[in-house]
Every structure is written in structure tokens, then in C-alpha cells.
Structure 1
């Protein structure tokens, strides 16, 4: 072998060695990354000392009536589920899970279906799965041990059918941050709520009243099975909350001291990782705070990863305040009169120069709804509980205009998971039976429930107070409501036609418009269909019609304007080719 060939052979061996070394290093780096990613994203459950509660057997005494130890679940005549829980955190969680096993499967299936509908791309869904895993990598470190144990207890009833998302515990843990993650992925538009409170001279009997719509939308199926939980925890205060299967966090609730907590989302900057979910903070306040000062103290201890308003009403204080929290700032908004209103933007001085909050006020539908509540409160000199229900059900725009059924500008957007009215001094609560806030507001007297008059005996009689209930909205039985049902169905059909590039059935356009002629979304949906099918003149026509209606905020209007610009460019290209 010549010296030159020897050198070439030697160089090739060196290069191969370097390549092998580089590949080995890359393999090792990938292995380390995967191990660290797994360690960082996989939450391991806490250690429960006593597992004996897992050995109890659920007893079904009648259709939709179950016992699990001293805990029980029943379906009332109103359609609302009522549940009593007691004991330590792990025991409560196990009982919650065992009692709602079938409801949990249905709830999780509905939630996953809605996510698939919002995010039809399998590739993006996989990305979301890993994003949420990484984003929530330290979630368990920011949740009190008591609630981790309770969540762990519920996870024993999680169906393996959804293990492709994660283990039962991982899923239940992350579902408690769904409200917050919906903020982080703002394009999903899952949250938007309205609440208000009045007392003293504004109240018909001077007592404190608080009312709220919880507009967390994860599909119609998700809102079907509302659960009213009456909880007697081993430590802290007895409380009630409106929730769904295995959700131990609080979105709306009242405790035995007459302190209420409701949460309203505000626009957030995109967070880098999850900390304390707001529903867990709200639960801690409800379980351990007896007045506003204690609620504020608990709130100051916890770090949220999105921006939230917590409306806190207190029988002890005889008034309501708003705690406003972002990941960086904190404020308490005090009432300036005998009423206070909360939508989805901040009011406090700490956020007066906050860029995100200013953009939210001028770009979203929040300020519009806030002002509409103010209009309606101003129309009534002394507001009663029934007046509060009428405000929660209001479908009009400012000045009584008609923005179309289901418009986010309305207080009643026809998407509410639940609607609730509290009377903290009397420990009375009215909860909408559905659909939305249109059904009967079912009344409960928490003095009776918390005193034990109903605990342990759910089968013999209804535990609600029928004499105090508020009748269903007459709109529920109207031709307009029937049209709204048709609108929802046809919107789903139109989504499918758009996605599959299918031709619309004859007269579909006219029939669809007739279901909800004042709603801008009808026209923008049709515009999107024709845009996707490259019928740009027709798309432009419908986008212009959408812009002529009451659009839900400047952000939405700007999106429509950008779509019209895209259409005009497409039309220009078509004309230039011709």
C-alpha cells in the first residue's frame, strides 16, 4: 500500500471514528433528554398512608342513587346530581371517583371529543400533548398535599380508555389546570364569564346577593352532568360547590360561614410553565377562609400562571370584593357603592397601565358585557334574587339591541356550564338546572344540608327547596329557542362541509341564516366555507355581512377585516390571470 493510499485509509478510519463518536454522543444526549423529559413531565402520585377506603364497595340503592361508606350521590328530579362527601383528602377523593365512575368516563370522553373538534389535526394534538406535559411539569409542586391526595383518590376510577393521554393520575391532575391551560392556548376560546353582586341599599331586602354565569365551554355534552357537592372535610370549613365528575377544584361555591368564591378569567400573557391552578386556589379559599381578609391572605400565598379575578362575597363583611391576580401582580378591588361587577378584564389600579389588560379591555367582549350588567342594574332600584336571575339570562346587547342568539357580547351567551345565585347571609343558593341558565334555578338551604338533616339520607326525599325555586325562562319554550337548536346543528354540519370541501345542500344558506339572522357568526361561518372552497366573491359577500352585525369585540372585527383583505388579494389574483 502506497503512503498516499495509507493516509487516505487512515483519514477514512478517523472520520468513521468521529462519526461513530458523534452518533454515540447524539444517542446519549437523546437518551438523557428523554429520561429528563420523562422525569420532568410525568407526575408521580403522592403517598397515601391508609388505603383501606379503596376496599369499600359502592352500593346502588336505586336508579342513580349510590352510597360509598357515608358518602352518597343521587340524581335529583331537576336533573342535577347531588353529592355528599366527608373524611380525609384521600378518602374523599376515592369516594368522589367511585360514586361518579360512569359520569367520569362520560365527562372525559366529552372533553376529549371537544378538544379533537377544536384541534382536528392529529399532529398538532400530539404536539399539544407534549406541550401540556412539559408546560405542567412542576404542577404538583404548586398544589397543596391535601389536594394532591384528593386528586390521587379520584384517579383510581379513571378509565384506561384514555391512557393514551397519560395515566389516570396525570390526567386528573392536568384537568384541574384545564381552565388555566385554556388561557395559555387562547385560540381555543373556552372561557369567558360574567358575575355581579349587590347589597345594602341596592338589594330588595338589604341582604348580600351574588350572581354569576360560568361560561367555560367544552361542548354541550360536557355541561350535561352538573354535580352539586356538599363537602364535610376532615379539616377546614364545610362547603358546597358546583362541579363535574372528579373536579375537586372550585369554580363556584359557598362555605358554611357564608363566604362565596367565583372565578373569572382575564387575558394573560403566554406563561412558560404551570404553577397553582386557579381552581385549587379557589378551593383553598372556600375551605379555609371565613371572611375577606382571610381570603386575601390565602390568595397572596399562591402563584398563578394565568390572570384571574376571584369575586369574594362575605356574610361576615356584608360586601363583595374582587381579588385580581396575574403571575406578576396582585390587587384587591373594593366596591365604590352597594354593587360590584366582574367580567373578564381587570379593574384595579395595579393593572391600569398593564398592556395585556388594556388590549383586553379594548379588544375583547368583556367591557361590553360589563357595561350591559351595569345598564340592567341601573334599571332596577332595589334588586331581588329573581331580578338577578333575569340579568343572568339576558340575551340582549347594550341598549337592548339584538346581537343574535349566542353572541359573546351578551351576558347569556347560551354556552354556560352553570349559573348560580348566592345569598351568603341566609346560606341559600340557586343553581340552574340547564340547559345553560334557562332551566329552573333550583334552591338549596345550606343550613339544613350542613346541619346534617340531609346528610346520609339521600334516598327518602329531595333535598332542594321547591318553594324557593325560580321558574325556567320562557325563552326555553319559544320558537326562537327551537331555531337556536337548529343553528347549532347546522353550524356543526357546515363545519363538516367546510372541512371536507363538500357542496352545500340546496337552500342550506337561506335556511341557516333564518335560524339566527342577527348573529355575525352565521355569516362569517358561511364566508369561511366559501373561502375554503375558493369561491372568493361569495366569501367576500358573507364577510361583509358579518361586519355589518354586532361583532364580539375589536379583536374579532379585526380578524374579519384580515379575512376580507385575503379575499380581495385572491380576487385580484384571479382577475389578473383572466
Structure 2
């Protein structure tokens, strides 16, 4: 069932033409929003009030995703699961009352502006709560182990390689009224955060974990904030890892995951369940994470082939790492076509190096995005 739901999500979220040239979005402007290209990477900038940003996102991104409804129905039929989707739609709809109001307003506006069913966008933004299908890897390199003099945050985003997904990958820069500006590497129509950085240089990414794989035996919290929206709130509200920890301890959450997080000073892994938050810090200047809990309180099984490949980085007297070295380490744990995105954040310089396309993305040349300049533009 988890494989089915994950596959369904990707069919809902993506469809395109040429996998070797991920360019599905036309450069355009609408109201206060603009979609432009930095090299071959589509970058959408939205600004204003929630409904205004939702309209800009809906017009410039979601409306350009061709025939999502038709693809949705066909995938359900092909998978033999067409009769189950009404239940999945009810589940995602049941989480809507727990959306932060400004996120809900934005998503409703995006659905209206793109002439898409609201249920499609609700499902897209709760996919991390209803599945545990992502298989990602992250590496935090502290200052003392970095060739750059500042921390590095490396991340592979691994998911089912549904045809057309890369054509609907984009970077969205949000400049909401009363919120910190932030950028998210996303897939239409997700408006939560899978991987992102804010104007303070704080970076977060999600590593999904099944709720059944937690020693605290927490139950799903239907009144909690959905995970991708939780990650977005951290970028909207917080400037440091410490601020994020305080913020999250007070925030109800739906389910389990790891948040790998890094600011200009360094990073950590937050192991999250609906009732626990355990902090795991670096070993000898490096902290690695895949898709299981490792803290004494939450761990039930610490076996992971990808983690074992990364763990030598945490050894004493390990070598210093630069951006290219971080990508090389990510390549060691690529999962073939499932590795859709590979990226390295430099929090101190507010820079993102992003590679995406037909997997493994670790084999592709990354594009350097000066996110700080985008945040500072009026």
C-alpha cells in the first residue's frame, strides 16, 4: 500500500516531456510573482499575502502541469487501486483543519487559480503524512571538517522515478508578509517544504520514517500540523537550529520523520514523533542521516546500507570535505533512478548547489543558485 500511495503521489505531482531537459514551465509573470530561469533551473518567486502567493503559484506553476486529473485516474486504474482513492482523499481532507491558516488560504487560492480540484493539492501537501515512501540521505559537515570554512549540508532526495517528475521540479522562493523569506526545492503542486533554506541561512530537509518504526510507539495525531507544512513553518519562523528546536517542541505533529537541519554555525538531526523530539548531533564534525531513528529513546532498528556507507565520514581524524567532496559522498549512496535530486547547501553564504533530472542525480552537473541574492531582491 505504501508503494502504491507513493507512486500515486508522484503521478499526481508530475508529468512532462523530455527527462533530459527538465524545462516544463514557461518564464512568465503574474501579479507580484515571476517564474524565471537560472541556467536550466526554473525559479518561481511569489510574494505578498497568502492568497496572493497561492494565486501566483497556481497560475505560474500548477496551471502548467498538463492533465493531472487524467493521469491520476489512469494511474489508479493501472494500479488496480481506483476504488481506494476516495478513502485517501478523505484522509488528506481530514488533515485540512490542522493546516496553519495562512497555508490553507494559500493552497485554496492555488487550486482556484489553477482550476484544479482542491483535493489534489490537499493530497500533495499531506503525502509525507500518509506514506513513508521517501528514502533519502543527508550529511552535515561542521565548520571544522569543511574546506570552505563554513558548514555544508548535503542531501539526496530519493523517491519513485515516475516519468515526468523532473519536468515539474522547481525552486520556489516565498516572500510572505510577516514571514522570513525562504526557498523550497519542490514539485508542483507541493507548497510545503521537502528541502529548503531561509534568509537566515537555516536549512531543513525531511527524511521519512514509518510511524511503526519508533520505540515510543506514538500514534498518528490527526490534530497535528502536517509534516511538510511543519518544515515550512520552521523556515518561516526560525533563524537558528536552537530556535527551531524550541519551536518544534511546542508544535503538535502528525507523524514520524527526521528533520536534518543546519544553520550558519552547524547542524543536527531532529528525530520527531507525535510525542517526542530527540536531538542527534555530529560525531567528529559530521552527522549523517537516512531513514531510521538512531537515538536510544526512539531506535528500533539501526540497520541501513546507505548509513553504513556514510558512517566512515564520522570517524575520528576524517578528511575535510568541500562541495565536490560532499557530492561524491552522496553519489556513493545514490539509489539509481530513484535519486531524483542531489544538493549541497552552504548556509553561511546562502547558496544552493542543485542537481536534478533522470536519476541518479548525483551523476549530473549541479547548478549554483545564489539564494541570498534572491532573498534580498525587492
TM-score, normalising length from structure 1? 0.56
Residue number among 363, 366, 377 corresponding to 1:441 in the alignment:
366
Q: Deviations over 1:234-257 (max 9, x none)?
A: 111111111122321000000110
Alignment correspondent of 2:99: 143
Alignment correspondent of 1:432: 355
Alignment correspondent of 1:175: 124
Q: Is 1:392 the counterpart of 2:335 in the alignment?
A: no
Residue number among 83, 87, 93 corresponding to 2:48 in the alignment:
87
Residue number among 188, 191, 200 corresponding to 2:143 in the alignment:
200
Could you say what secondary structure the match of 2:53 adopts? helix
The structure having more radius of gyration, on CA atoms, is 1
**C-alpha spacing 1:285/1:113, structure 2 compared with 1 (3 Å):** farther
Q: What CA distance in whole angstroms lies between the structure 1 residues aligned with 2:311 and 2:73?
A: 37
Q: CA deviation at 1:391?
A: 1.5
Q: CA deviation at 1:159?
A: 4.6
Q: Deviations over 1:525-568 (max 9, x none)?
A: xxxxxxxxxxxxxxxxxxxxxxxxxxxxxxxxxxxxxxxxxxxx
Alignment correspondent of 2:238: 289
Q: CA deviation at 1:424?
A: 0.1
CA RMSD of the aligned region, Å? 2.4
Alignment correspondent of 2:276: 329
Higher strand share: 2
Residue number among 309, 320, 333 corresponding to 1:382 in the alignment:
320
Q: Is 1:347 the counterpart of 2:294 in the alignment?
A: yes
Could you say what secondary structure the match of 2:165 adopts? helix
Q: What CA distance in whole angstroms lies between the structure 2 residues aligned with 1:258 and 1:207?
A: 11
Q: What CA distance in whole angstroms lies between the structure 2 residues aligned with 1:111 and 1:196?
A: 35
Matches within 5 A, 1:395-544: 410-436=333-359, 437=361, 438-452=363-377
Q: CA deviation at 1:330?
A: 2.3
Q: What CA distance in whole angstroms lies between the structure 1 residues aligned with 2:82 and 2:28?
A: 37
Q: CA deviation at 1:177?
A: 0.7
**C-alpha spacing 1:252/1:208, structure 2 compared with 1 (3 Å):** same
Q: What CA distance in whole angstroms lies between the structure 1 residues aligned with 2:39 and 2:143?
A: 35
Could you say what secondary structure the match of 1:389 adopts? helix
Residue number among 61, 65, 71 corresponding to 1:104 in the alignment:
65
Could you say what secondary structure the match of 2:339 adopts? coil
Unaligned runs of at least 5 residues, structure 1: 1-62, 161-167, 184-189, 395-409, 456-578
Q: CA deviation at 1:114?
A: 5.1
Could you say what secondary structure the match of 1:105 adopts? coil
Alignment correspondent of 2:29: 67
**C-alpha spacing 1:106/1:299, structure 2 compared with 1 (3 Å):** farther
Could you say what secondary structure the match of 1:231 adopts? strand
**C-alpha spacing 1:274/1:191, structure 2 compared with 1 (3 Å):** farther
Q: Is 1:302 the counterpart of 2:251 in the alignment?
A: yes
Higher helix share: 1
Q: What CA distance in whole angstroms lies between the structure 1 residues aligned with 2:347 and 2:72?
A: 32
Q: What CA distance in whole angstroms lies between the structure 2 residues aligned with 1:137 and 1:95?
A: 23
CA contact (8 A) 1:214 1:418 kept: yes
Q: What CA distance in whole angstroms lies between the structure 1 residues aligned with 2:139 and 2:72?
A: 28
Q: Deviations over 1:456-514 (max 9, x none)?
A: xxxxxxxxxxxxxxxxxxxxxxxxxxxxxxxxxxxxxxxxxxxxxxxxxxxxxxxxxxx
Q: Is 1:257 the counterpart of 2:200 in the alignment?
A: yes
Could you say what secondary structure the match of 1:414 adopts? helix
Residue number among 307, 323, 335 corresponding to 1:370 in the alignment:
307
Q: What CA distance in whole angstroms lies between the structure 1 residues aligned with 2:58 and 2:127?
A: 19
Q: What CA distance in whole angstroms lies between the structure 1 residues aligned with 2:73 and 2:142?
A: 41
Could you say what secondary structure the match of 1:138 adopts? helix
Alignment correspondent of 2:171: 228
Q: CA deviation at 1:228?
A: 0.8
Alignment correspondent of 1:242: 185
Q: CA deviation at 1:229?
A: 1.1
Count residues in correspondence: 345
**C-alpha spacing 1:272/1:326, structure 2 compared with 1 (3 Å):** closer
Higher relative contact order (CA 8 A, sep 6+): 2
Could you say what secondary structure the match of 2:338 adopts? coil
Q: Is 1:217 the counterpart of 2:181 in the alignment?
A: no
Q: What CA distance in whole angstroms lies between the structure 2 residues aligned with 1:106 and 1:301?
A: 40
Unaligned runs of at least 5 residues, structure 2: 1-24, 213-218
Q: What CA distance in whole angstroms lies between the structure 2 residues aligned with 1:193 and 1:114?
A: 24
Q: CA deviation at 1:275?
A: 3.9
Q: CA deviation at 1:204?
A: 1.3
Q: CA deviation at 1:420?
A: 1.4
**C-alpha spacing 1:324/1:230, structure 2 compared with 1 (3 Å):** same
Q: CA deviation at 1:146?
A: 0.6
